[in-house]
Structure 1
Amino acid sequence: MTDPSVAFAQYNARILLGQPLSSKYITHYIESLTILLTRPTSPNGPHVATYRDSVYFNYRHLGLSLLFTPQKGYQLIKGTPAEDLDQSRLFLDGIDFYNVTLQSPPSSPPAPSKPPFSPTAADHGFRSYPVTPIKIHFSGEADDSLQVQRSSTGKYFVEHLGEPDRKGGGAGPSNGSIGIWCEWTKKGIMVEFGGNEARGPDAWNTGKDAKWKVISMFPIPK
């Protein structure tokens, strides 16, 4: 029998979009992921970065970042600590899943990663998201989804989603250039790819073999 925490984490994270920070469903989602960890982590809580128009809850140990935006007239002040935020007026507007090796925690918080995506956001001490495959749903239909493995490449995404609506990155020398990224706007998903295949002047030819580095999920435009 499948552990209910695993089933919840794998089911459909998209249904959490639009939920307030105070939502019990978001709390349960984080708890269900934490249960899956095989080794202790420190710290267990998120790194919270507050800006004038958004708040990022970065769960580096879970390979997860949650973007909340203010509504109902709520005015954010940059640098506001988590305990002083009005959780009832902050709503989930984006989810980032990471597929990276463990690195040392940064001395400063990662750059915001809501669309247009910040391609360097994966280099700030995140572990890989603990659930595989990640089930990315695009609508309420059961068959309208994508199952992403840690090894899924650019070719896999294009074969299942078609040509992206927006794309960028990959230009310049392989040393120091950003990875290629693709956005399927109408499906509410953006993917950045990593490795040498995703960088350099020939990246759009070799990118089909590049593994995904960050998946950003955002509300599907109406």
Structure 2
Amino acid sequence: MSGQSIKLRWLLLANLLINAGAAFMWPLTTIYLHDDLGESLTTAGLVLLVMSLLMIVGNFVGGQLFDRWRPYETALISTGISLAALIGLIFWHGWPFFALFLIIVGFGDGINMTVLNAYAAQDTSHERRYVFNLIYMALNLGVVIGTLTVGYLYASGIRYVFAVAGLCYLLLLLIIALTFRVPIKAKSDQAVAQPLKLKSDQRWLLLVLCGLTFVIYASYAL
């Protein structure tokens, strides 16, 4: 696919699949850990906290690998990490394996979501705001599909939840393997040597935005 760019539809479908697959796990964790495995709600909260922290680490690792290594291979490996953990959950979903595999999924997703956003930023055939607005819509559609479906699957058996979530990641892996091998614009030496410097008021604005985002997500998670 040399000389081409990723079609926007594949980026949108990739974001839909990864968020649908992840949405199978988030609402399930508290119920499954407490009602099925007999763990406390505090334990469930700690598991989700560690998963979120590993996702943040994955975000950082994904950005570093996209900039300094190979984006295509990074996307494949991160999807493979999440897929392998979900396959493990099909067979080993007791305590503490459920928590361990869930945390691994969070790390893989953190890498992959950063890489998908970085690929979207490389799209030069559409306005950037148009691309990311559509990706945000695909993301939320994936969350709706995942959270809507998980209740029906959970009633049939926990293995079905992990199997269908794994299918989402398998389809994502196929899409990445077939459509994401495209050339990435290299940074110029000047851009690398001279990182962006923010003015004092811009820095404070970013800090305020980060603080606002933290408060919104904290209240949302509660």
Give the TM-score normalised by structure 2.
0.24
- Normalized per residue, the structure richer in helix is 2
User: TM (normalized to structure 1)?
Assistant: 0.24
Say which structure, 1 or 2, has more relative contact order (CA 8 Å, 6+ apart): 2
Structure with greater strand percent? 1
